[in-house]
Chains A and B, each alone.
Chain A
Amino acid sequence: MDDNRLFAKGLAFPPFEKSKREPHASNPGGSRFMRYEAPSSTKAAVTLLMKEKGKSAILAGGTDLLVRMKGGFIEPDLIVDIKRIPAMREIKKTASGFQVGAAVSGNELGRSVVKKAWPGVVEAANLIGSKQVQGRCTMVGNMCNASPAADSVPALVAAGAQAVIVGPKKKRTIPVEKVSTAPGRTSLAKGEIVESLLLPKRPPRSGDAYLRFIPRSEMDIAVVSAGVNVVLDAKGVIKEARVALGAVAPTVLLVAPAAKAIIGTKLDDEALDKLAAACSAACSPIDDKRGTIEFRTKVAGVLAKRAAKIAYQRAGGK
């Protein structure tokens, strides 16, 4: 049996080699390596983050964090892995809806009871990356990465989802649209962690949907995206609606005029045209090789229309 097989069978122990990396330029006299901690409670995680004098990073799925570390865009002194915190691994059905833990992976979400109640949210989360990425990525990570093109976020905003934030002070709950403040930035203070997302309970005759435009058929970053959530009355008239757009502004947008355009209607052509116009009016996108301002502005309206039709149909509207 060669050495490799011995190592693999645990019969031999490979020598521990010191990393050849130099200490980070910003911290030349400091610790040579970053530290990895996997606390078993949210409180312990908060304490670790509060105590850390250098840069810290929270590790959930790691599908953004590890890529950024490898690219040298971020060099944390402390990594706090939240996957050993039981409360963050659970999906709970509560009296007011669903509570989805921050470390729940895309695959776990896709297999859960949430899918039936919030198909738009789950489909949006399941669009992120490949099967391999779905085994790791989380909605909370997607939200806290704070990309305006994050797939799950417009669907969560349309759903009226709330983020439960634990920190050194009191636990607080804020709407998902208040988490990201700019690309890559969040409103979280030092020591704060998003513990879970709250999705409201579904009333009868409700439905949601999320659509995005990408130049490829799968596995790409949204050029424009739209999430729509509607609740109908017994006659099929929309009584409540929320419309959110992604990748057309520095943060995901909740577009109140777009919701107003379809409330009180049965989603006739006139309402759909008003919805599209309100969405396009709300856009302030960037111009890049993936999509021009003109393209993104127009397609935002088109996608909102199509998503609204799917949401309406899912709510039982005809």
Chain B
Amino acid sequence: MSGVHVSTTINGDPIDFVCDPDEPLLDVLRNRLGLTGAKEGCGTGDCGACSITLDGELVCSCLVLGAEAEGRKIETIEGMADGDKLHPLQRAFISNAALQCGICTPGFLIAAKALLKKNKNPTEEEIRFGLAGNLCRCTGYDKIVRAVQEAAKEMRGA
């Protein structure tokens, strides 16, 4: 059997790739497209390090097949900053020291962006629930929560 040809849109750019029928989208992004921002932590949808959005819906790219991306719109961490201008969430993560080793960070940023799109002013509890699918073994989460609160405030223009 040969590979599957897929035409999709990633961070606004049309992209074509060929992948194995059972190849996770995460592997396509990292190994075929060089988009190594999404990380493989567990590979089973538990840790959220591979978070992306697929047609606007937050998903673990390790639990999506590359073949499923046909005609869909994918957003990855590589599309978050506007050129050299970082997204408010990215700046807040840096200023709040909300990362240490950094493996979970792209997933947290994507998940936090998805959360703030739905809820512009989340409570601390809502942030913790919204990011419960992302595991961090370094920070203890408090700094991440504070960073999201700060970015949310900035994005509301408050």
Contacts and interface: CB of A to CB of B under 8 A. Distances in A.
A10 B130 contact: no
Contacts of A3: 34
A59 interface: yes
A23 B44 CA distance: 23
A9 B13 contact: yes
B18 A32 contact: no
B59 A136 contact: yes
A63 B45 CA distance: 7
B60 interface: yes
Interface string A39-75: 0000000000000000000010111001101110000
Contact of B17 (A14, A130, A218): A14
Contacts of B58: 131-132, 135
26 contacts: A5-B34, A7-B33, A8-B13, A8-B34, A10-B13, A13-B16, A14-B33, A17-B31, A19-B23, A34-B21, A35-B1, A36-B4, A38-B70, A62-B65, A66-B45, A70-B44, A79-B21, A81-B67, A131-B114, A131-B133, A132-B58, A132-B59, A135-B58, A136-B64, A218-B132, A219-B133
Interface string A273-285: 0000000000000
Interface in B128-157: 129-130, 132-134
Interface string B105-119: 000000100110000
Contacts of A145: none
Interface centre among A17, A31, A132 (most CB of B within 10 A): A132
A13 B14 CA distance: 12
Given A66-B24, A66-B62, A133-B60, A7 B133 contact: no
Contacts of A71: 44
Given A7-B33, A59-B65, A131-B132, A36 B21 contact: yes
Interface residues of A, number: 42
Interface of B: 1, 3-4, 10-11, 13-18, 20-24, 31-36, 43-45, 48, 51, 54, 57-60, 62-65, 67-68, 70, 78, 111, 114-115, 129-130, 132-134
Nearest to B20: A19
A4 B34 contact: yes
Contacts of A135: 54, 57-59
Contacts of B20: 19, 33
A273 to B, nearest CB: 34
Contacts of A4: 33-36
A87 to B, nearest CB: 18
Nearest to B60: A132
